[in-house]
Amino acid sequence: MNQRPPRENRNAHRKNHQEEEEEECPRVSLPSCPAADDAGEDARRPLPALLVPSLWLYVLVLLAALAMPCRALCPNNCTCDDKALAVRCEASNIDVLPFTFNPALQQLSMYGTEIHTLDTHSLLWYPDLLHVKPKTFEMQVHLEELHLAQNNISELEADMFIGLSKLIVLSLRGNSIESLDGGVFIQLKQLKDLDLSENRIERLDNQALAGLSNLRVLHLRDNRLTEIPAQNLALVPDLAELSLGGNEFTEIKDTDFEAMRTLKDLDLSGTELNEGLSRNSLQGLSLLSKLNLEDCRLTHVPTEALSHLSKLEELHIGRNLFTTLPPDAFKENRRLHSLFVSGCLHLLHVEKDVLGHNMNIREVVITQNPSLTYIAQDAFRFLPELSVLDLHGNNLQQISEQAASWKDIAHWSLDGNPIKCNCSAAWLRQLTKAPNSSESVKCASPPHLAGKSLHSVELSDLACGMDPATQGLGHRLRGRGGGFDHCSHDNFQGYIMTPHKPVPVTEL
């Protein structure tokens, strides 16, 4: 009986054959030497006739593999694409950073590893690699993106970035970095996008961002900063996007943003500013077009602070503590085209002419405000560019027909409000039949109509003309052809308009 080759030889042959197909550097696994007790017996055994050709074939394959040009080493749990010049390493027990990849690499992503510290020494060796040259970052001269998010990195040194002269994007989001020393990014002359969010950063040396003259995007949100790093922001004067939300500072000084003349997008959401936003806190942001002030514990709309933002186009101001949106709240923001006010637990009223000076407004989203029961007449009327009015998920039992130019708005929504389906909702019923309306507006009361779509409710169910004040109203609403246009606004104002302060729904 012929003896099969040892298992180690078969596995090594299979492994080398697979690595040859993947164009990776081969790893050779040699069979261990026999024990001394068995050496004599094994030596006396003749080699089976069928085994000799297999051994010669194995040697030829091995020599061919060793002769192949070695372009890169790809560790376990990493995917190396030499065509796309990209490497991605998934969650693993890698605890040092291997950089013996293709020297022409352009994108590198590493997520969920056990890396704790990045310095020049940690880049020199990884136990599974066969060969690592010193200063291996110098080989990555073409690298443009480096993603090291969601690891456990706690320290950074300037020398670790030597060789990355063409790096454009660097993400260190979700690590354990507590501080940044001066000049730590000095090697990254071409860097444009730096993400340091979701770390534990408490301190930035005043020169931490030195050398980043081309930086355009900086994410520092969800750290532990107790003040805005104004001196570092002055080092990156061409910044276009900045996120500082979720930090621990409680005020914005008048000079904090004075160097941010080119900033267009500012995210301050999740900071407890409360009264820390003064009239001049946002001065210097003359080109700002997008501002996020959500969840800042603001007790009133900061109209004065916003007055410096003449170019503001998009404002997010939800999840705050104010109780009303007052008239002319955004009077100096003439270019405003999108307003988002959602999740304000204490918001009760939206007053008349809240957007009286905002003729360019196109999108208004005021949603999920559980205490909002009143929207005044003319709150959103006479706005010629308004195409989206989303009022879903509030606590509106009725709303005035004069609150907005409903028929001229391409998309509007009142879904999820507890609409009281009485005669005051007759105009709304008719509106739900228009092409731009939603048929999902539902009645919350009276009980016999609860849950029904207002679109499907008969006009007679709205009890128009059932009391002396509305005698004949049902006939006028129906008209000859059942249309709503026959109803005169002048004769029945009490049933097509909302009272001025707050809606007395219990009396309707």
| pLDDT band at 459; cut points 50, 70, 90 | confident
Q: What phi, psi does 447 have (nearest 5°)?
A: -55, -35
Alpha carbons within 13 angstroms on the beta-carbon side of residue 189 total 5
Question: 57 Cβ partners below 8 Å, 6+ apart?
Answer: none
For residue 39, the surrounding DSSP H or E stretch is helix 36-44
Minimal CA–CA distance to 427: which of 484, 479, 473?
A: 484
More confident site: 449 or 147? 449
CB 283 within 8 A of CB 308: yes
How many angstroms separate the Cα of 295 from the Cα of each of 226, 240, 497? 17, 23, 33
pLDDT at 181: 93
- Asked whether the predicted pLDDT for residue 99 surpasses 70, the reply is no
Q: Look at residue 7 and tell me whether its pLDDT is greater than 80.
A: no
* Better-predicted residue by pLDDT, 124 or 463: 463
Instruction: For residue 99, list its beta bridge partners.
Output: none
Helix, strand or coil for residue 507? Answer: helix
Element (H, E) at 474: helix 473-478
d(CA 416, CA 367): 10
**Predicted confidence (pLDDT) at residue 15 exceeds the cutoff of 60:** no
* Residue 85 or residue 443, greater confidence: 443
Average pLDDT score over the chain = 77
pLDDT tops 70 at residue 26? no
Name, in order, each residue with C-beta under 8 angstroms of 473's C-beta and a sequence gap of 6 or more. Answer: 423, 464, 465, 487, 492, 495
Q: What is the number of structural domains in the chain?
A: 1
- Report d(CA 18, CA 29) in Å as an integer: 13
| 106 within some domain | no
188, 211 contact by CB (below 8 A): yes
pLDDT score, position 68:
41
Of 248, 269, 264, the closest CA to residue 317 belongs to: 269
Given this model, what pLDDT does residue 87 score?
A: 74
* Lowest mean pLDDT across 372-381, 386-395, 464-473, 493-502: 493-502
- Which pair of tokens denotes residue 247? 């930090």
Confidence of residue 30 (pLDDT cuts 50, 70, 90): very low
pLDDT tens for 288-338 read 999 999 999 999 999 999 999 999 999 999 999 999 999 999 999 999 999
The yes-or-no verdict on residue 421 having pLDDT over 90 is yes
The whole-angstrom separation of Cα 478 and Cα 487 is 8
pLDDT digits (tens, 9 = 90+) for 149-196: 887 788 888 777 888 888 999 999 999 999 999 999 998 999 999 999
pLDDT value for 74: 77
Quick check: is 10 in a domain? yes
Lowest mean pLDDT among 35-49, 134-148, 360-374, 460-474: 35-49
> With the CA atoms of 42, 47, 53 and 55 taken in that order, what torsion angle do they form, in degrees rounded to the nearest 10?
10
Q: What is the pLDDT confidence band of residue 398, given thresholds at 50, 70 and 90? A: very high
User: Is residue 344 within 8 Å of residue 316, measured between CB atoms?
Assistant: no
412 or 68, which is more confident?
Answer: 412
**pLDDT value, residue 205:** 95
Residue 26 is assigned to a structural domain of this protein: yes
b/e 236-259 (16+ beta carbons within 10 angstroms → b): beebbbbbbbbbebbbbeeebbeb
What percentage of the chain exceeds 90 in pLDDT? 52
Full residue range of the structural domain in which residue 7 is found: 1-30
Query: Distance (Å, rounded) from C-alpha 465 to C-alpha 311?
Result: 51
Domain presence at residue 144: no
Residue 174 identity (one-letter amino acid): G
Question: What is the per-residue pLDDT for 481?
Answer: 38
pLDDT tens track for 38-75: 444 544 455 455 445 555 555 544 444 444 444 457 77
Instruction: Evaluate whether residue 60 is within a structural domain.
Output: no
In a domain, 395, yes or no: no
pLDDT(418) > 60: yes
489 pLDDT above the threshold of 80: no
Would 503 be classed as within a structural domain?
A: no
Q: What is the pLDDT of residue 400?
A: 94
Query: Could you give the percent of the chain with pLDDT greater than 70?
Result: 66
- Determine, yes or no, domain membership for 9: yes
Q: Which parts of 119-191 are beta strand (E)?
A: 145-147, 169-171, 179-180
